[in-house]
Structure 1
């Protein structure tokens, strides 16, 4: 190793801790505010609020366990934002994120609300499926029960993560988000090849094993966010293409209800485009990510309406097959 290589590695190591830093938290004003706030409001260990400061903390923040460091970062963040705006500068990010106004202790209220709305839609449509179809008499209905469980679990953790961002809630949000993307991919394969169980298992075995390995990687805490996004995009595009091609073929073959899956797939792709935008939150709450979650809330209605009609088709096909067997 020559001197130039050694110096390059040394500089990278020294600056590694600044990789996720942003203009806001790098500013001297923010750093000075943190020191002053910590000294005035924290206990000696710097973790808990002093008794005097605790009296001024709202109930929601207390229930969601906002510690002294969190409180100081939040209040100093907004003082820094005000300082930037007074000088005519753009609103800065802090630790890679835009500043969000906290509501009853909820860290990102708009994204949390939109996630909760998605969760409610999935639960509502699940009730329609369970009220209309029996596991014993309808093909694939048990699979759709499992699919809904995955989606409900994912949106629950999305709500929790946007309510309170911690290393564990971040891990659960990422792991569950990928589980929902992969569930849609798995559902496409299962629906297309459901009569050929060995082929279906053969196609899905490697992706399912990969998911387990990826979750283990996410749990390590050393997350490459770009790589994680690429994994989601790969399985999302793969599942969407399968659904799109199959649904178009079904629609042209006379199953008119397949238009719902075509519409769901195209609209989901259009909604995802919101993630490409990056702008300061409107009203300090609605950023591109929150708007993306809000735009996806109505889409499960299209999806589950397709599922319901498809289950009716499979149910009627099963009865026809039984009648034909009796005649023979």
Structure 2
């Protein structure tokens, strides 16, 4: 079970939700507060440069202030804390809507970034999968960059790009799993597999952009791709259980860890201190999973390269 794939698919499923309204922003208190704030302050309000850069309008400022005011009143009176536009009332930082998720997404991306140089340095140049593993890091960095952007400011564009970047990571995980697990090496077979994946991704994005964004289809498509990927790695684990008892368990263990950490999402709660919610803690928990998986790939690459070199010598 490939955790890179799992991380990406779970970003898709729990990081970006199609929500146009919630109980909070539908309430009369909120609407009245925003209306009064906008009429009273917008003609003369000056928005700080950092927030203007993140496209905070005067109305957005009023919505944020009203949300925080209503939330504080609810806390003092023991009332229910509501969601607004599908999100908890986070305390923003420098204009970022969800600072904890931004920070932890950035740290996840940094873990992928670190291994670009590690893979280039430690994997033998002659090993066939080296370039694909390096690109896995690049694609991982890309997916987390868009997660940072999305959690900083939630717009239709940032949401879509988060979906597309995560979808690319999901499909690329399957692509590399096919190459590694099924030992695809011949030029024609590699080209064919590459063509199939490229066409699939192109058609997927084209369909999603062709009209109303189909969230349900997007979820089903990515779950299907992730499931195939997981089956491939599970097959690898079974086939190598006796041959490599010291590390054959790692793909399965990684998948189990990710599944365990995902349980945080089942216990959704208002953000602690207005910052840390279940989703941000989920992002925090995935940070150590990435080096665990990549270190397995490093060892696997070393063993496979040695085996291939030894096989070539034997043939001579």
Bucket of the pairwise TM-score, normalised by the shorter protein: 0.7 to 0.9
> Which of 153, 158, 171 is the equivalent residue of 1:169?
158
- Greater C-alpha Rg: 1
Q: Structure 1 pair 93/319, CA: closer, same or farther in 2 (3 Å)?
A: same
- Give the Cα separation in 2 of the matches to 1:89 and 1:224: 36
Residue number in structure 1 paired with 2:14? none
2:272 paired with 1:303: no
Q: Following TM superposition, by how much is the alpha carbon of 1:26 offset from its aligned partner in structure 2, in angstroms?
A: 0.9
> Which of 63, 87, 106 is the equivalent residue of 2:96?
106
Q: Structure 1 pair 232/271, CA: closer, same or farther in 2 (3 Å)?
A: farther
Give the RMSD, CA atoms, in angstroms.
2.4
Q: Following TM superposition, by how much is the alpha carbon of 1:86 offset from its aligned partner in structure 2, in angstroms?
A: 4.6
- Give the Cα separation in 1 of the matches to 2:98 and 2:290: 23
Q: Which has the higher contact order (CA 8 A, sep 6+)?
A: 2
Q: Following TM superposition, by how much is the alpha carbon of 1:211 offset from its aligned partner in structure 2, in angstroms?
A: 2.6
Residue number in structure 2 paired with 1:21? 21
- Give the Cα separation in 1 of the matches to 2:92 and 2:211: 26
Residue number in structure 1 paired with 2:246? 256
The one-character-per-residue Cα deviations of 1:63-89 (angstroms, maximum 9, x if unpaired) are: 323111221111111122234445543
Q: Structure 1 pair 299/231, CA: closer, same or farther in 2 (3 Å)?
A: same
Residue number in structure 1 paired with 2:263? 273
- Give the Cα separation in 2 of the matches to 1:206 and 1:27: 49
Residue number in structure 2 paired with 1:68? 58
Q: Structure 1 pair 98/217, CA: closer, same or farther in 2 (3 Å)?
A: farther
Residue number in structure 2 paired with 1:325? 315
The one-character-per-residue Cα deviations of 1:20-56 (angstroms, maximum 9, x if unpaired) are: 321111111111111112112224xxxxxx3xx21xx
Q: How does 1:46-61 map to 2 (within 5 A)?
A: 50=44, 53-54=45-46, 57-61=47-51
- Give the Cα separation in 1 of the matches to 2:103 and 2:163: 18
Q: Following TM superposition, by how much is the alpha carbon of 1:201 offset from its aligned partner in structure 2, in angstroms?
A: 5.9
- Give the Cα separation in 1 of the matches to 2:70 and 2:213: 28
Count matched residues: 297
Give structure 1 stretches of 5+ with no counterpart.
1-18, 44-49
> Which of 278, 281, 288 is the equivalent residue of 1:288?
278
**Segment of structure 1 superposing worse, 201-210 or 149-158:** 201-210
- Show structure 1 runs of 4+ deviating over 6 A: none
The one-character-per-residue Cα deviations of 1:82-133 (angstroms, maximum 9, x if unpaired) are: 3444554311111122111101111110111110110111111222111113
Structure-1-length-normalised TM-score? 0.82
Residue number in structure 1 paired with 2:9? none
Check conservation: 1:24, 1:80, Cα contact below 8 A. Answer: no
Check conservation: 2:113, 2:138, Cα contact below 8 A. Answer: no
